[in-house]
Amino acid sequence: MRFAQIPGLSDVKAPLMHSAASGHVAHAQLFAGPDGGAALPLALAYATRLNCETPADDGDSCGRCPACSKMDKLVHPDLHFVLPLLESKLDDEERNERLTRFRAFFLAEPFGSYRDWLDELRAENKQGTISAEAARQLPMKAAMAAYEAPQKIFVLWLPELLHPTAANALLKLLEEPPAHTIFLLVTQNPGALLPTIVSRTQRVTVRAHTEAELQEFLISQHHLAPPAAEAAAQLAEGAIRAAIEAVGTADTDYFDFFRNWLRLCWAQKWQELLDTTSEDFQKRGREGQKNLLRYGLGFVRKVLLHGLDPALVPSLPPNEAETVSRMSRLITPLNAPAIVALLTDAIFHTERNANPKLVFFDTSLSLYPLLKG
């Protein structure tokens, strides 16, 4: 993984590349970012740059040297992973099989989410954990000398899922780090980590992607037309994995539908909502229905931000900007939480195969008093 393979986030990449070039590398770093975002890819791009034998002039890894070739396949002998798994005890063969599955998982979906990983493990309703067994092996691996690189690099994905015993073992390693060893912790929820672990790491905040960054990525890498890329980016709410999932399922008329829906609710045109608009909603299919409702959640967020400061949502198309501006008088911090809860409930019922026309019309009836205030 190279920095160039990760879209946008130039403000996050630059300090990492400077750190690697200058040699000022903290022994423990905490990459904190949203699920389905770029935190894990950035940690691995940073690890690749640290091990690169002939760095590029732009500060990235070269992508050609033997070290980069091994890092690209996640098989470098000085790159170690600590991952959430379903089992607490595994023999060497089982552990290697899980690692092989993770390599294939990441190489296929570099921006894959924790839920995607659980699906890969066929977890069903189970949750992953980093076991006490993994903790016992960590100090032994850390004490070993590096094979090829100047340092060993440990990537701990989702340390918030550490078993308490494992967390204490990690804390001891961070307090007394072995020589030539770097720990890269990748978390979605830094607040769930032991404060003593957080205090011993250097924080790398991996922000969500902007809609403009996601649109550019979808146009250049997935060859979407600009209107389709814009629709998918709006659904993603900053998560690149969600943007990729929306490819092929995002419509370009979400804004028109949602604006018309709000107008009909405001005007109490219940017959039209029941006969025509709810029929249109049903024809979209379950994924289209969920995407439309998710778009509504994003729209409410934009209206709230515009009400605080229009500069917070600068990239809106002219027709959408006009509607967002007018709706900021109707959707305020007073009623927005209830509207969000209403749309979230509609998504919940849609996912569980409730009758879409009933879900839509019931949501419409509940929207009217909220908009009227």
**Average pLDDT value over all residues in the chain:** 88
| Cα–Cα distance measured from residue 154 to residue 317, given in angstroms and rounded to the nearest whole number | 44
Computed from CA positions of residues 89, 92, 93, 99, in that sequence, does the dihedral angle turn out positive or negative? positive
Lowest mean pLDDT among 2-11, 114-123, 184-193, 356-365: 114-123
Do 53 and 65 contact (CB within 8 A), yes or no? yes
List, in order, residues 6 or more apart from 233 with CB less than 8 Å away.
Answer: 211, 212, 214, 215, 218, 243
For 51-74, what is the mean pLDDT?
A: 93
The pLDDT of residue 129: 86
Question: Does residue 212 register a pLDDT over 90?
Answer: no
The pLDDT of residue 250: 58
Residue showing tokens 């931000």:
305
| Cα–Cα distance measured from residue 369 to residue 373, given in angstroms and rounded to the nearest whole number | 6
The pLDDT of residue 315: 67
Instruction: Retrieve residue 145's tokens.
Output: 């000398």
The pLDDT of residue 5: 92
* pLDDT-derived band at 47, boundaries 50, 70, 90: very high
**Residues 275-329: pLDDT tens digits?**
899 998 888 888 788 888 888 888 888 888 888 888 877 666 777 788 888 888 8
Do 159 and 29 contact (CB within 8 A), yes or no? no
Backbone angles phi, psi at 154, to 5 degrees: -110, 125
Beta sheet of 181-187, edge-to-edge order: 79-82, 152-157, 181-187, 28-32, 202-205
The pLDDT of residue 248: 63
Q: Which residue has the higher pLDDT, 169 or 62?
A: 62
Instruction: Retrieve residue 51's tokens.
Output: 């091990």
Vertex 33 angle, CA 32 and 39, to 5°: 85
What one-letter code names the amino acid at 61? Answer: S
Instruction: Retrieve residue 4's tokens.
Output: 């160039």
* pLDDT-derived band at 130, boundaries 50, 70, 90: confident
| Alpha helices (runs of H) in the chain, residue ranges in sequence order | 10-22, 39-51, 66-72, 92-108, 114-120, 132-143, 164-175, 195-198, 211-221, 226-236, 240-246, 254-266, 270-272, 278-283, 285-308, 318-327, 336-351, 356-372
**Residues 66-91: pLDDT tens digits?**
999 999 999 999 999 999 988 877 77
The pLDDT of residue 138: 82
Q: Beta strand pairing status for 202-205 and 28-32?
A: parallel
Of the CA atoms within 13 Å of residue 232, those in its CB half-sphere come to 26
The pLDDT of residue 221: 84
**Residues 221-279: pLDDT tens digits?**
888 778 778 778 877 778 888 888 777 665 667 888 888 999 999 999 999 999 899 99
Q: Residues of 242-255 as b/e, b for ≥16 C-beta within 10 angstroms?
A: bbbbbeeebbeebb
